[in-house]
């Protein structure tokens, strides 16, 4: 019987450690991924792009555990500014977990939005998109002005999400 040399023994252990280290760098097991995917995420804004329906449809495919809402606002719209500030301050975190807002500026993308059905008489507009990225019939538009706009929108957005 031949006894392995110390150098061969060291190479064996280095190779084994390398294999173990490489395995540790791989993506987590499916159970770990599922647990991470089930964690609630804060609502967030995603900058929209044109053509609207194509971009929204692509975002829907990328949204695994999130609800997607198309949000149309404008810089001059006071309820829109209050919505932005409340979202940034975390005031919608509990009520709108796992919601992604694809944001469009009405003054910049108005024609492209209208072409894909995102029309409204008032701003802001919040609409649940169809799978093809076009606007569905599920939407809310407008809000009260002033500090109560945040609560007004919170309740109406929750109702929009539940009505589906």
Among the listed residues 26, 116, 18, 14, the one whose alpha carbon sits nearest the alpha carbon of residue 72 = 116
- Cβ–Cβ under 8 Å, residues 59 and 67: no
For 50, phi and psi rounded to 5 degrees?
-110, 150
How far apart are alpha carbons 160 and 69 in whole angstroms?
Answer: 10
Report the C-alpha gap between 92 and 79 in whole angstroms: 14
Return the CATH architecture of domain 43-162. 3-Layer(aba) Sandwich (3.40)
pLDDT in tens, 36-51: 445 789 999 999 999 9
More reliable by pLDDT, 80 or 62: 80
Predicted local distance difference test score (pLDDT) of residue 112 = 98
Distance CA 18, CA 21 (A): 5
pLDDT score for 33: 40
Average of per-residue pLDDT across 22-27:
44
Distance, CA of 79 to CA of 13 (rounded, Å): 64
pTM of the full predicted structure? 0.76
> Measured between alpha carbons, how far is 115 from 124 in angstroms, rounded to an integer?
18
163 pLDDT tier (thresholds 50, 70, 90): confident
Instruction: Kindly tell me if the per-residue pLDDT of 128 is higher than 60.
Output: yes
Q: Which of 28-32, 92-96, 134-138 has the lowest mean pLDDT?
A: 28-32
Structure confidence at residue 10 as a pLDDT band (50, 70, 90): low
* Whole-Å CA distances, 60 to 23, 29, 64, 113, 133: 32, 25, 8, 17, 8
């Amino acid at each position: 019987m031949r006894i392995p040399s110390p150098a061969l023994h060291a190479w064996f252990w280095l190779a084994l450690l390398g294999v173990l280290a490489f395995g540790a760098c791989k993506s987590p097991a499916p159970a770990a991924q599922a647990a991470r995917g089930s964690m609630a995420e804060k609502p967030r804004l995603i900058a929209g792009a044109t053509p609207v329906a194509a971009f929204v449809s692509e975002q829907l495919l990328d949204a695994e555990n999130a609800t997607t809402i198309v949000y149309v606002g404008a810089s001059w719209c006071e309820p829109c500014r209050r919505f932005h500030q409340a979202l940034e301050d975390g005031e919608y975190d509990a009520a709108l977990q796992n919601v992604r807002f694809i944001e469009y500026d009405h003054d910049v993308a108005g024609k492209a939005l209208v072409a894909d059905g995102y029309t409204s008489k008032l701003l802001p507009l919040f609409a649940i998109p169809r799978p093809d990225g076009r606007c569905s019939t599920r939407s809310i538009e407008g809000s009260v002005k002033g500090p109560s706009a945040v609560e007004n929108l919170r309740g109406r957005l929750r109702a929009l999400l539940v009505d589906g």
